[in-house]
Amino acid sequence: MINPVVSLKYMLAGYIAIFSILGIYLASLVVRWKNLQRDLQMLKDLQEKK
């Protein structure tokens, strides 16, 4: 039988890991999306200026 306190700590570590990695990934998706939108707008403006 694993010590309950130790077990709890590892469980928390596990869930923190899950949501951290997931969170970082979702954030990266949002950031990349915003960057691409901005790039697209910039390129379209450049095109119009020509």
Partner 1 sequence: MKAQPLVLKIMNVASGLLLAGSLAMVFLYAPLEAVMNHVQKIFYFHISNAWVGMLGFIVAAFAGIMFLVKKDLKWDIVEVAAVEISLVFFLIAIVTGSIWARPSWGTWWTWDARLTTAAILEMVYLAYMLLRQGIEDPDRRARFGAVYTLIGGISVPITFVSIRLWQTIHPAIIGTESASAQGGFAMAPAMLQTMFFCLFAFSVIFATLLWHRVRLGRLAQQVELQKLEAMQ
Q: Which of residues 24-43 bind partner 1 (CB under 8 A)?
A: 25, 29, 32-33, 36-37, 39-40, 43
CA 27 to chain centroid, in Å, comes to 3
Q: What residue type is assigned to position 13 of the chain?
A: A
Rule CB under 8 A: is residue 23 a binding residue for partner 1? no
Torsion 23-24-25-29 (CA) sign:
positive
Total of residues contacting partner 1 (CB under 8 A): 28
Calpha distance 47→36 (Å, rounded): 16
Can you give the binding site for partner 1, defined by CB under 8 A?
A: 1-4, 6-8, 10-11, 13-15, 17-18, 21-22, 25, 29, 32-33, 36-37, 39-40, 43-44, 46-47
